[in-house]
Amino acid sequence: MLKDCSIGFIGLGVMGAPMCRNIAKKHSGAVFAFDMSESACAALSDVGVMQAQSVAALAESTDIICLSLPGGDAVREVCLGTGGIASAISKPRFVIDLSTTTVASARDTADQLAQVGIVFVDAPVARTREAAQRGDLSIMVGASQQDFDAVLPILAMMGSDVTLCGRVGCGQVVKLANNALVFENTLALAEILVIAERAGVEGTLLLEALSKGSGDSFVLRNHGVKSLLPRHFPEHSFPPEYAVKDLAYLLELAQQVGVDARVTQQCRQFYDTTLQAGFAGRYFPAVIEVVAGNLPLAANDNEDKP
């Protein structure tokens, strides 16, 4: 099936565009794309990606569709809304959602697509834009074993580590856990860095020393060295508004399973304050400026919304 199938890709943003490019370079069949930005589609013409004029048109031309969208609402609209995938006359066999959504949204979308004969697989991705460009993302998948085996060759075009986490929705569980740990570790490291620098320890020396002990981590060697230490928060990277969204998704899940996730609640406050402090669209480790500037935390309303 894979060799001759046509693949569609919807959402050509920071992560979606390089993922689609890797598919087009590695897949022998046709690849179609749709994005609200025509220039984003045009930028992939050099690897043979063909632009679809609408979501429905893409759905009617493809056997498998990959999504890389901002969140659960966008995924639901593309899949089930007016002119969406489910409304297409000729429907794809699989929808692979590479976005980060709530667990409940993933499962509900899967149930509704199943009613029209479409298999939905949640497959959120982790690691950086550079990893997306290289094709060595970590992909966490929620699917049956049979469906996982069917889509694995496509996922392997984008990721070097592809893990079946359980039934539909379990990919999102693991992805939300991954993101929360990154956000929480980054916040903790930011606080430690500010304390140490003010106490007379040079930041570079601190991170080098910590990296040799049990305090070492991926966050220290990447976010710490590349962003927190130089106070480098570029645009077009993972911004605090996405951190707030993903933490809200995890808090929703925590509430559903009866856990009082106070660490995650506090972490969300810091990133919300980072957003409100003028760092929208900038790289999320800008949270260190909130720590260093002693800015007031946003009121904790404990509600499960961004």
Same domain, 95 and 214: no
Q: Average pLDDT, stretch 12-20?
A: 96
Average pLDDT over residues 288-297: 79
Last residue of a domain, one of 146, 167, 188: 167
Instruction: Tell me, yes or no, if the pTM score tops 0.85.
Output: yes
Same domain, 231 and 154: no
Maximum distance among all Cα pairs of the chain, rounded to whole angstroms: 67
From residue 63, alpha-carbon distances to 51, 55, 99, 131 in Å are 16, 13, 19, 26
Question: pLDDT per residue over 117-147, tens digit each?
Answer: 999 999 999 998 899 999 999 999 999 999 9
- Residue 233: which domain range? 173-293
Residue range 215-243, pLDDT digits in tens: 999 999 999 999 999 999 999 889 999 99
Residue 302 covered by a domain: no
**Closest-CA residue to 286 (of 240, 218, 224):** 240
Quickly list H helices, the chain: 16-26, 38-42, 55-61, 72-80, 103-114, 129-134, 145-155, 170-198, 203-210, 218-219, 240-256, 262-274, 287-293
Same structural domain for residues 234 and 139?
no
CATH number where 273 lies: 1.10.1040.10
Q: Which residues face 95 on adjacent strands?
A: 65, 120
- The yes-or-no verdict on residue 305 having pLDDT over 60 is no
Place of tokens 């993972």: 238
Residue 299 backbone dihedrals phi, psi, to 5 degrees: -60, 140
Residue 252 belongs to a domain: yes
| pLDDT greater than 50 at residue 294 | yes
What's the CA gap between 87 and 296, in Å, rounded?
Answer: 48
C-beta neighbour count of 298 within 10 angstroms: 17
Same domain (yes/no): 119, 202: no
Answer yes or no: do 14 and 43 share one domain.
Answer: yes
21 and 117 together in one domain: yes
Q: What span, in angstroms and rounded, lies between the C-alpha atoms of 279 and 285?
A: 10
Residue 222 and residue 156 in one domain: no
Residues 43 and 131 occupy one common structural domain: yes
Q: Is the pLDDT of residue 116 over 60?
A: yes
- Are the beta carbons of 256 and 104 closer than 8 angstroms? yes
- Quote the pLDDT of residue 236: 83
CATH number at 52 reads 3.40.50.720
Query: Is 2 within the bounds of a domain?
Result: no
Q: Which of 114, 146, 167 is the last residue of a domain?
A: 167
102 close to 172: Cβ distance less than 8 angstroms: yes
Q: What is the pLDDT of residue 4?
A: 78
What percent of the chain is modeled with pLDDT above 70? 95
Query: Per-residue pLDDT for 87 more than 90?
Result: yes
Let me know whether 133 and 44 are in one domain: yes
Which amino acid makes up residue 242? Answer: Y
Cα gap 147→141, rounded to integer Å: 10
d(CA 33, CA 59): 10
On whether both 39 and 151 belong to a single domain, the answer is yes
Answer whether residue 130 is part of any domain. yes
Residue 306 clears pLDDT 60, i.e. is over it: no
DSSP letter for each residue of 240-261: HHHHHHHHHHHHHHHHHTT---
Q: Is residue 144 part of a domain?
A: yes
Residue % of the chain over a pLDDT of 90: 92
With H, G, I as helix, E, B as strand and everything else as coil, classify residue 169.
coil
32 strand-pairing partners = 8, 50
Helix/strand/coil for 229: coil
Residues 30, 5: contact at Cβ < 8 Å? no
Please give the radius of gyration of the chain, using alpha carbons only, rounded to the nearest integer: 20
In a domain, 299, yes or no: no
Instruction: For the chain, give the mean pLDDT.
Output: 94
Task: Determine contact, residues 109/79, Cβ cutoff 8 Å.
Answer: yes
Tell me which of 167, 199, 224 is where a domain ends: 167
Whether residue 298 is contained in a domain is answered as no
Q: Which secondary structure element, helix H or strand E, spans residue 61, and what is its range?
A: helix 55-61
* Strand 137-142, strand 125-126: pairing: antiparallel
Domain count, the chain: 2
Q: Is residue 300 part of a domain?
A: no
Burial of 197 (0-12, 13-18, 19+ CB in 10 A): middle
Q: Are 283 and 194 found together in one domain?
A: yes
279 and 179: one domain?
yes
